[in-house]
């Protein structure tokens, strides 16, 4: 058991290290720029005074390592700095939006994970059947769709023609839970359609790979019924690959969220990021970028840890 | 089980397969791989299926359970087990038989055990599911069987996971699992092929014991006639999905009628004539070599040996003996920790990267698996031609001519082979190409790493003869690494026996092969199956009586010197 | 050539469909200027004119011909995505092969650095860099290529690792062959089949990422015609129930479907999976 704890601790340390490296990249990205960033942002016409004021505001007059330490220190204490555009605290800007984004991702995950796993496992079990072939064509097409394509089709059908759902998902805290769910359905459905295809394909491949193992043949030759082979012999070994599939797709959800939020004007973190990018509000971009990256790293880390914890070879060392 | 006193023959046979036809899929087309085979098996009888690769023996074995692997399908014939037609039977009916009345033992136990469950859970699964025994009765039975199969700590070994148990033990645990429901028939599919000889003999003994105790009928599949001769009452010799010859084990081994069977039997008879030991300076001196892989324990411990000019030195040992590591040290792939190599009077650089091209040219290597030793994307012209360009700067017409000469030397028709890819060659032809590639460098020493073990026996024999002829013609020396004593007998001048990284015995061929032996050499030699009926029983009886009978091999704490 | 034909004859309908789509798109991209009735950014009518004989698919938000811009869009988007993918493969394959052949510290160093780059979601990373550097086609190509090369690296290294342990590579090393020869003659030819399939997948990914960036207004800049930004510019029409703005998005989807169908077939062939 200690063996596993050590491995998990190693992964956690590695994740932390990666997060640190990512923060360094996000910070240094600004530094490594050719030319002067203030000039680039303020334009050629800026007077020396405005440039100097701007530099002070960004604390560009300090040496880079001091600024980095100050920045990182602030983040650790929950202070992400100020927005350039409206001078508001970034923490305050992000708070509600982060919740909204997590809410959207959560709804999408709740719909898509059971759906994708179920359909993927079925496709693997009934390999080469008509169902499997249809699923293959459907998922191949579906992963080819840009998110905004799916989103606009849904809007065209459900919002414009049928009028079932609003085409703009304006949600706020004053709304009740079910009203929020109702307004989140369209973006969540878009994310679901895109993610389900990926997840199904990966689940199917993982299960098929597993079913080709000699110990599955052995179980067949022991005269066990199919259900028992699946539950008893395939599933315990399928856990690690399936966890992997789920987590990779959750990470994918996080990125996909950016575009979907823009299409539906959903007040989430992705929307904030895009607005900040458009106005070149660098502190906000850095902060949101870091939050997205942290979520991504955290998810991948948990996949690693879970697959260690479900590996019998590691659970029962020699 | 060879006791013929049973009432067999008076009752209906346990299993009959008539006109069995099986197809396999290749390149999205179906080809017939078993062409109408008839098999009859009586209760308590052991039937041996023997043949080279592609004979269809495993496929036939699985067909006895009404099962075809993915990519195979049963297309013709009847399979009747105890009055039940298996091909027509429903899946549910088949399931009732499988595991309960017909059981299967696979070649690789490591792959066939589910890594997620303990051995005893996998043992109990079939008896509990088929309602033969209760869970606790099944576990008690497992402990009993583990004991009968001479597994260490039979009371507790079942509570381990597959990866916590060694290969030979796992194989015996699988035999126990097959026995769990006391089936009428067990299909053994090359159960000892992946094992070392000293482990093989233990597993063979265990299988033979339990099959005899419970009077179980068995189909024993192997490519090794000497092994089958120990296990089977009756043998069917198969080739390319056809029956060559069928008879009692005794008649097949002692009075074979078909030419093919005779050749299979004669396979271990090739002998190199004994050569006088020469007094001149050896080509390669290995002096006090010790080596280890990164952070592991030492795998070679002060090895000293000489390889003379135009001589063949066989390095023999089981897996883990360090014989392949020694080859890696000689080639420079693994620089040794201590010791040095003296080649033709000059010290060789320890690391490959520091050796000049000329000394690389003089030592060549032929690998075990010709499949992986040839780049699948290169034509033979390039494979054999590249060393010519690289070492001797040959190009164009001259190079092609030399390639053709080399192909002729390895007995391959140049016009037919020079533009082929490896995928268009058989195993033996591939190994000949590897030999030609080595010869292209005009080396003084060729390291042969298990060069025949991936080949069918008849093919291997011809490759050995070719290597011998080339030595006579060209005067090269061979460092011959092998685990197979038949090969050693055939080709070596000198023998070096290795065990756990040390040399336990070395000397001229006849000295080492003739008694008295060193204890480990004796164990090794006596474990090599002989093509004689009753060899296994006699050997086991001798070991059981002799005071030096030690099932775990030589004393591992103090390796014999 | 005859091999290719017989291969095609055995191919499933989905692969043929994919090949047809890809050829059609390439044709459109190459001969775009000859096929279009108007200039790429020529204002030829009023805004949002409906479909009609003069403007087959109507006009866009600035009064430019939709069909013309759709065809030019093929040129720009596909061309840039293709160049980006090629660049990503050059970087990824060289680094991946080097890591596999050299092993040891080189491999560790490249792989860890790669892990860190991969820990940041691509779209977020691209947005970050584009904010700082500003948007232009060369910057887009380099940024996306570098980000995408991390995925290529991972595959190239994994494939090359499986090849490097083969005895024929050991034979080449024992012969004294240099690094370049081993990479070019032993590793590359054997790594090709999975890499070709991966090229298709990466192309789709780059193509979608580029379109996403353009859709967000951060990719290819106006007045250059581009499918992603065309959707964004005309999105308002959708609320009136007009399908036209979705056409560029559908064009993107159709091409990626085509490529994916081909890749699926290639993967199926090279994996040697025998489906019973």
Residues C205-263 have pLDDT tens digits of 898 888 888 888 887 777 777 888 888 887 777 777 777 778 888 888 888 888 888 88
B66 CB contacts (<8 Å, ≥6 apart)?
B74, B79, B81, B86, B87, B89, B94, B97, B98
Q: Across residues B184-201, what is the average pLDDT?
A: 90
- Evaluate whether residue B1 is within a structural domain: no
Of A214, A232, A312, the CB nearest to B108: A214
Of A221, A223, A233, the CB nearest to B130: A223
Q: Across residues C56-60, what is the average pLDDT?
A: 72
From chain B, the residues in CB contact with A127 under 8 A are none
**CB–CB contact B70 A213 (8 Å):** no
Q: Domain check: are B220 and B307 in the same one?
A: no
For residue C261, give both structure tokens.
Answer: 């169908």
Of C204, C212, C238, the CB nearest to A156: C238
Range of the domain at B56: 15-265
ipTM (interface predicted TM):
0.82
Q: Domain check: are B204 and B292 in the same one?
A: no
C213 near C140, Cβ under 8 Å?
yes
d(CA B147, CA B144): 5
Question: DSSP secondary structure string, B137-156?
Answer: HHHHHHHHHHHHTT-SSTTT
**CB–CB contact A146 C249 (8 Å):** yes
**CB–CB contact A223 B96 (8 Å):** yes
C211 near C253, Cβ under 8 Å?
no
Q: Domain check: are B254 and B291 in the same one?
A: no
Q: Domain check: are B336 and B255 in the same one?
A: no
Looking up residue A144, the CATH number of its domain turns out to be: 1.10.3720.10
Cα B310 to Cα B166, B316, B429, B443: the distances in Å are: 40, 19, 25, 11
From chain C, the residues in CB contact with B71 under 8 A are 274, 276
- Evaluate whether residue A21 is within a structural domain: no
**Domain boundaries defined on chain C:** 7-271
d(CA A195, CA A203): 12
Residue B360 has pLDDT above 90, yes or no: yes
Residue B88 has pLDDT above 50, yes or no: yes
Q: Domain check: are B59 and B87 in the same one?
A: yes
Q: Across residues A80-93, what is the average pLDDT?
A: 80
- pLDDT for position A303: 83
pLDDT digits (tens, 9 = 90+) for B388-415: 999 999 999 999 999 999 999 999 999 9
Q: Domain check: are B68 and B177 in the same one?
A: yes
H/E stretch holding B501 reads none
B95 CB contacts (<8 Å, ≥6 apart)?
A223, A224, A225
For residue A23, give both structure tokens.
Answer: 């923060």
Looking up residue B362, the CATH number of its domain turns out to be: 3.40.50.300
From chain A, the residues in CB contact with C231 under 8 A are 148-149, 152
For residue C57, give both structure tokens.
Answer: 């698919």
Residue from B55, B186, B169 nearest B113 by CA? B169
Distance, CA of A317 to chain centre: 34
- Evaluate whether residue A202 is within a structural domain: yes
- pLDDT for position B306: 93
Q: Across residues B109-114, what is the average pLDDT?
A: 90
Mean pLDDT over the full length of chain B: 88
**CB–CB contact C168 B375 (8 Å):** yes
Quote the longest CA-to-CA distance of chain C: 73
What distance in Å separates residue A167's CA from the closest CA in chain C? 8
Question: What's the DSSP call for residue A156?
Answer: I
User: Any idea which fold C7-271 has?
Assistant: MetI-like fold (1.10.3720)
C170 touches chain B (CB under 8 A): yes
Q: Is B296 exposed, middle or buried (0-12, 13-18, 19+ CB in 10 A)?
A: exposed
Specify the pTM. 0.83
Query: Looking at the DSSP assignment, which residues form a beta bridge with residue B290?
Result: B338
Range of the domain at A108: 103-279
Residue C188 has pLDDT above 70, yes or no: yes
- pLDDT for position B293: 84
- Evaluate whether residue B558 is within a structural domain: no
d(CA A179, CA B143): 63
Residue A87 has pLDDT above 90, yes or no: no
- pLDDT for position A41: 65
d(CA C257, CA A153): 17
C212 near A146, Cβ under 8 Å?
yes
- pLDDT for position A38: 66
B286 touches chain A (CB under 8 A): no
pLDDT digits (tens, 9 = 90+) for C113-123: 888 888 778 88
Q: Which of C174, C191, C269 to mutate to test the interface with B (most CBs of B within 10 A)?
A: C174
C177 touches chain B (CB under 8 A): yes
Cα A179 to Cα A103, A297, C103: the distances in Å are: 13, 32, 57
From chain A, the residues in CB contact with C125 under 8 A are 289
Most confident option among A91-105, A115-129, B305-319, C190-204: B305-319
Sign of CA dihedral A126, A132, A135, A140: positive
A116 near A177, Cβ under 8 Å?
no
**How many structural domains does chain B have?**
2
**How many structural domains does chain A have?**
1
Sign of CA dihedral C21, C25, C30, C34: positive
**Count of Cβ atoms closer than 10 Å to residue B535 Cβ:** 18
Write out B505-529 in H/E/C secondary structure. Answer: EEEEHHHHHCCCCCHHHHHHHHHCC
Question: What's the DSSP call for residue A172?
Answer: -
């Amino acid at each position: 058991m200690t063996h596993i704890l050590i491995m998990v601790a190693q992964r956690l340390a590695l994740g932390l290290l990666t997060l640190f490296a990512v923060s360094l990249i996000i910070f240094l990205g600004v530094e490594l720029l050719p030319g002067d960033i203030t000039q680039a942002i303020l334009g050629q016409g800026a007077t020396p005074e405005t440039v100097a004021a701007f530099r002070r505001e960004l604390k560009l007059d300090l040496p880079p390592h001091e600024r980095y330490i100050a920045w990182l220190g602030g983040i650790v204490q929950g202070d992400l700095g100020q927005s350039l555009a409206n001078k508001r605290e970034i923490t305050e800007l992000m708070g509600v939006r982060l919740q909204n984004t997590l809410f959207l991702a959560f709804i999408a995950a709740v719909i898509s994970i059971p759906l994708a796993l179920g359909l993927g496992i079925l496709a693997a079990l009934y390999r080469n059947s008509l169902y499997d072939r249809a699923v293959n064509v459907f998922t191949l097409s579906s992963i080819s769709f840009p998110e905004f394509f799916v989103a606009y089709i849904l809007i065209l059908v459900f919002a414009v023609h049928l009028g079932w759902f609003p085409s703009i998902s304006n949600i706020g805290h004053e709304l009740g839970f079910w009203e929020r769910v109702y307004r989140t359905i369209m973006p969540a459905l878009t994310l679901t359609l895109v993610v389900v295809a990926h997840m199904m394909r990966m689940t199917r491949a993982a299960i098929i790979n597993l079913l080709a193992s000699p110990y599955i043949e052995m179980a067949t030759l022991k005269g066990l019924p199919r259900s028992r082979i699946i539950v008893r012999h395939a599933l315990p070994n399928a856990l690690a690959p399936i966890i992997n599939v789920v987590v990779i797709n959750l990470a994918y959800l996080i990125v996909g969220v950016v575009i979907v939020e823009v299409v539906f004007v959903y007040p989430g973190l992705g929307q904030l990021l895009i607005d900040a990018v458009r106005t070149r509000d660098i502190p906000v971009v850095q902060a949101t970028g870091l939050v997205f990256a942290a979520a991504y790293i955290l998810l991948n880390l948990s996949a690693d840890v879970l697959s260690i914890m479900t590996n019998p070879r590691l659970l029962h060392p020699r | 089980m060879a006791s013929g006193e049973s009432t067999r023959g008076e009752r209906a046979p346990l299993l009959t397969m008539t006109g069995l036809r099986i197809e396999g899929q290749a390149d999205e087309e179906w080809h017939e791989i078993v062409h109408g085979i008839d098999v009859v098996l009586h209760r308590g009888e052991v039937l041996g299926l023997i043949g080279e690769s592609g004979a269809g023996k495993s496929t036939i074995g699985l067909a006895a359970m009404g099962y075809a692997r993915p990519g195979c399908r049963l297309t013709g014939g009847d399979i009747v087990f105890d009055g039940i037609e298996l091909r027509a039977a429903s899946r549910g009916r088949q399931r009732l038989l499988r595991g309960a009345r017909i059981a299967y033992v696979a070649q690789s136990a490591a792959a066939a055990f589910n890594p997620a469950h303990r051995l005893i859970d996998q043992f109990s699964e079939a008896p509990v599911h088929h309602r033969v025994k209760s869970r606790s009765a099944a576990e008690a039975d497992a402990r009993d069987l583990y004991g009968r199969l001479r597994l260490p700590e039979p009371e507790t070994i079942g509570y381990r996971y597959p990866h916590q148990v060694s290969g030979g033990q796992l194989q015996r645990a699988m035999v126990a699992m097959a026995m769990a429901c006391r089936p009428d028939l067990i299909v053994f599919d090359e159960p000892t092929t992946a094992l070392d000889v000293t482990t093989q003999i233990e597993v063979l003994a265990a299988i033979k014991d339990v099959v005899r105790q419970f009077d179980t009928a068995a189909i024993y599949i192997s490519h090794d006639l000497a092994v089958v001769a120990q296990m089977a009452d009756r043998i069917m010799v198969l080739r390319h999905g056809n029956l060559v010859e069928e008879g009692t084990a005794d008649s097949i081994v002692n009075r074979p009628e078909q030419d093919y069977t005779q050749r299979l039997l004669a396979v271990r008879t090739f002998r190199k004539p004994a050569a006088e030991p020469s007094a001149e300076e050896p080509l390669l001196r290995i002096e006090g070599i010790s080596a280890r892989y990164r952070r592991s324990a030492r795998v070679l411990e002060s090895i000293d040996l000489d390889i003379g000019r135009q001589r063949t030195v066989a390095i023999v040992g089981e897996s883990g003996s360090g014989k392949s590591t020694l080859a890696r040290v000689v080639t420079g792939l693994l620089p040794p920790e201590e010791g040095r190599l003296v080649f033709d009077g000059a010290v060789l650089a320890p690391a490959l990267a520091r050796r000049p091209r000329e000394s690389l040219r003089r030592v060549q290597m032929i690998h075990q698996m010709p499949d992986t030793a040839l780049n699948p994307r290169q034509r033979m012209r390039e494979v054999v031609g590249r060393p010519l360009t690289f070492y001797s700067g040959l190009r164009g017409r001259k190079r092609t001519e030399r390639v053709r000469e080399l192909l002729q030397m390895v007995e391959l028709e140049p016009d037919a082979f020079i533009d082929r890819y490896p995928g268009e060659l058989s195993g033996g032809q591939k190994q000949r190409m590897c030999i030609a590639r080595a010869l292209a460098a005009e080396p003084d020493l060729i390291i042969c790493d298990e060069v025949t073990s991936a080949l069918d026996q008849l093919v291997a024999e011809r490759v050995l003869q070719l290597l011998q002829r080339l030595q006579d013609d060209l005067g090269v020396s061979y460092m011959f690494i092998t685990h197979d004593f038949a090969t050693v007998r055939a080709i070596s001048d000198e023998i070096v026996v290795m065990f756990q990284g040390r040399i336990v015995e070395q000397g001229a061929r006849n000295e080492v092969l003739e008694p008295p032996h060193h204890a480990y050499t004796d164990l090794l030699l006596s474990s090599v199956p002989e093509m004689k009926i009753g060899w296994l029983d006699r050997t086991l009886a001798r070991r059981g009586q002799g005071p030096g009978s030690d099932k775990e091999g030589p004393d591992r704490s103090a390796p014999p010197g | 050539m005859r091999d290719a034909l017989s291969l095609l004859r055995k191919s499933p309908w989905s692969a043929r469909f994919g090949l047809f789509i890809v050829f059609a798109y390439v044709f459109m991209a190459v001969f775009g200027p000859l096929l279009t009735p108007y200039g790429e950014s020529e204002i030829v009518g009023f805004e949002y004119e409906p479909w009609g004989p003069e403007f087959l698919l109507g006009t866009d938000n600035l009064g430019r011909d939709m069909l013309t811009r759709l065809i030019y869009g093929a040129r720009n988007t596909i061309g840039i995505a293709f160049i980006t993918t090629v660049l990503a493969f050059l970087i990824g394959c060289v680094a991946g092969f080097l890591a596999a052949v050299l092993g040891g510290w080189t491999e560790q160093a490249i792989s860890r650095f790669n892990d860190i780059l991969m820990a940041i979601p691509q779209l977020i990373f691209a947005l970050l860099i584009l904010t700082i550097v500003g948007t232009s086609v060369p910057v887009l190509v380099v940024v996306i290529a570098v980000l995408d090369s991390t995925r290529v690296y991972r595959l190239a290294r994994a494939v090359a690792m499986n090849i490097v342990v083969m005895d024929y590579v050991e034979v080449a090393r024992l012969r004294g062959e240099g690094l370049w020869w081993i990479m070019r003659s032993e590793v590359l030819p054997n790594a090709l089949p999975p890499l070709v399939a991966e090229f298709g997948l990466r192309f789709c990914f780059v193509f979608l990422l580029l379109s996403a960036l353009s859709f967000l207004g951060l990719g290819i800049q106006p007045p250059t015609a581009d499918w992603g930004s065309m959707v964004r510019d005309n999105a308002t029409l959708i609320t009136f129930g007009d399908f036209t703005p979705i056409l560029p998005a559908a064009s993107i989807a159709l091409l990626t479907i085509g490529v994916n169908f081909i890749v699926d077939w290639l993967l199926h062939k090279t994996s040697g999976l025998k489906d019973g």
